[in-house]
Amino acid sequence: MSFTSARDVYLLAAARGVSFLGDFTAATAILLALQERGAGGPAVAAVLIASVLPVVVLAPLVGRLVDRVDSRVLLTTVGLGQAACCAAMALTTSTWLLIALVALLAAGVAVTTPTFNALLPDMAGPDGVGRAMAIGQTANSIGALAGPALAGVLVGAFGLRVPLLIDAGTYLAVVVAGLLLHTRRKAAALQAPGAGRTPWKIRDDRFLLALVCLVGAIVLALNVNMVVGVFYIRGTLGGSPAEYGLVEAAWMGGMLAGGWLAAARTRDDGQLGRIMVLLHLTTAAVVLLSGFAGTMLMLYPLWLLGGAMNGAENNFLGVISARRVPAAVRGAFFARIGAVVNAANLIGYAAGGVLVDRFEPRHIIIACGVAGLLSVATFGGWMWRVSSAAGSAVVSSLPGTSSSRSPSPACSGSAP
């Protein structure tokens, strides 16, 4: 299996992996620093909310930007802004200013994530998306695997400033990738007749609509755990900062394995849809069982399994999206599905901030698992039914992307 541009697939994976390393190091360090300062659930929830609210609010604007502005311009300018934002975070001692800067950083993520996601199918080609997703997820998982463990060590030794400066440095990888990638989504191509006005809506594809609803529901049910987790591990189970980082790393290690297992399975959309239901069911069960853990050691195998399910889910979602979403509107699609997922995150974080000061962390995690099972019971049946009627719908590429084999604007001045 060959890619349209193997060079770009690996370059993109490397840049995002480095960025993930910085992001997870910084995010874990912030949570640990707040917990050690005595900040309660509302402060932790505020950080998490700030990290997703811009993605939700800016989704309509971001979708238009990604589909109409040259991807190189977006990646380089936004990457430089994110590096500057992280440097400013490292210099502040105010918790609430730190939270405001987290929100500003997230505004950049709202732009770069759908830009990268929209580029990937054209780098990989229609038959290489699953493998390209696994390669990218490998790099992401390595960065995310090392980040929490590194944060636990760095916070204990140096405090919060060093992890944030590391994150500032890794955002320069996004800038370098933006400059070096041959594959580009070009403004000139999107100005072609009819481009950018594709009459495609997600509600017209019942399969994708059911999938987005299922994913949003499970995220809403389980992500209260993101706020409660640090209190459960550090308080209830008595874990150290390093152990907290290692538990988080276990999830990422599972994602690495799950992504490659998914890449090795070529199936039509209907089969993938039914598998997605089973994967989400297992993920909810993992969270439920983790609430009954008596020691830290019991969490590691559960988090490895949950991560594997999560990795396979992400891979299959990428494959399905590449098959069914027209190229000219991929930016809008990825921005909007990101908004759905992050809106669910937002509600979960807010609920976690309220609940953690009122109930035992263990009871909240058990309730999250039960809610996850109920969400699959509610939306999984719908997903299963539309999957039974779905074939492998591959849409043709529409204007809006220049592959590495197409002339660049600097050479041709026109769309390919």
Pick the more confident residue, 159 or 394.
159
Whether residue 351 is predicted with pLDDT greater than 70 in this model: the reply is: yes
pLDDT of residue 221: 87
Residues with Cβ < 8 Å from 54, sequence gap 6 or more? Answer: 103, 104, 106, 107, 109, 110
Residues with Cβ < 8 Å from 157, sequence gap 6 or more? Answer: none
Q: What secondary structure does DSSP assign to 26-72, as a single string? A: HHHHHHHHHHHTT--HHHHHHHHHHHHHHHHHTHHHHHHHHHHS-HH
Q: What is the pLDDT of residues 261-312, one digit of tens each?
A: 888 766 788 889 999 999 999 999 999 999 999 888 899 999 999 999 998 9
Structure tokens at 200: 């495609």
Q: Give, to the nearest 10 degrees, the angle between helix 224-231 and helix 6-36.
A: 50
Rounded percentage of the chain residues whose pLDDT exceeds 90: 22
Could you tell me the pTM of the whole model?
0.74
Q: What is the pLDDT of residues 247-270, one digit of tens each?
A: 877 887 888 888 888 887 667 888
Mean pLDDT of the chain: 81
> What is the rounded distance in angstroms from the CA atom of residue 19 to the CA atom of residue 26?
11
- The full set of domain ranges for the chain reads 6-185+200-391
Provide the phi-psi class of 373: left if phi over 0, else alpha when psi is between -120 and 50, else beta.
alpha
Q: What is the pLDDT of residues 21-77, one digit of tens each?
A: 888 888 888 877 777 776 666 777 788 788 888 888 888 888 888 888 888 999 999
Whether residue 410 is predicted with pLDDT greater than 60 in this model: the reply is: no
Give the DSSP H or E segment for 213.
helix 206-222
184 - beta bridge partners?
402
Q: What is the pLDDT of residues 75-106, one digit of tens each?
A: 999 999 999 999 998 888 788 888 899 999 98
pLDDT of residue 187: 52
pLDDT of residue 45: 75
- The topology (CATH level 3) of 6-185+200-391 is Growth Hormone; Chain: A; (1.20.1250)
Rounded percentage of the chain residues whose pLDDT exceeds 70: 88
Q: What is the pLDDT of residues 181-216, one digit of tens each?
A: 988 876 545 444 444 455 677 888 889 999 999 998
> What is the rounded distance in angstroms from the CA atom of residue 227 to the CA atom of residue 49?
10
Q: What pLDDT band is residue 144 in, cutting at 50, 70 and 90? A: confident
